[in-house]
Amino acid sequence: MRGPLISNILGQVVARLHDEKRLELVVGASVEALAEELGARIEQAPPFTQFSRWLSTSLLDSALVEELYATDEELFEMLSWVEP
């Protein structure tokens, strides 16, 4: 189990991406539902997976996401402002 810290980080990143129009959800999807889905997916991720690459792949693989307008590098940079 990765714990609440990772869930908190995922929630903040997804919310910020959406607020900044760098993440477009399908009609009817919510930021909260996507963050929950990612929280479940990260449980299956191999240890020591590069977070930004995993996140971009998981976002693009999600049926809740229409489009992602951020690169792996931008996702990595976003981690600098995440509050624990």
Q: Could you read off the pLDDT of 23-55 as tens digits, one per residue?
A: 999 999 999 999 999 999 988 887 767 888 899
Choice between 54 and 7, residue whose per-residue pLDDT is larger: 54
**∠ CA 5-12-43, rounded to 5°:** 45
Whether the pLDDT of residue 56 is over 90: the answer is yes
Q: Residue 77 has what DSSP assignment?
A: H
Cα–Cα distance, 48 to 26 (Å, whole number): 30
CA 66 to chain centre: 14
Q: Are 11 and 84 in contact (CB under 8 A)?
A: no
pLDDT at 3: 65
What pTM was estimated for this model as a whole? 0.86
Q: What is the mean pLDDT of the chain?
A: 89
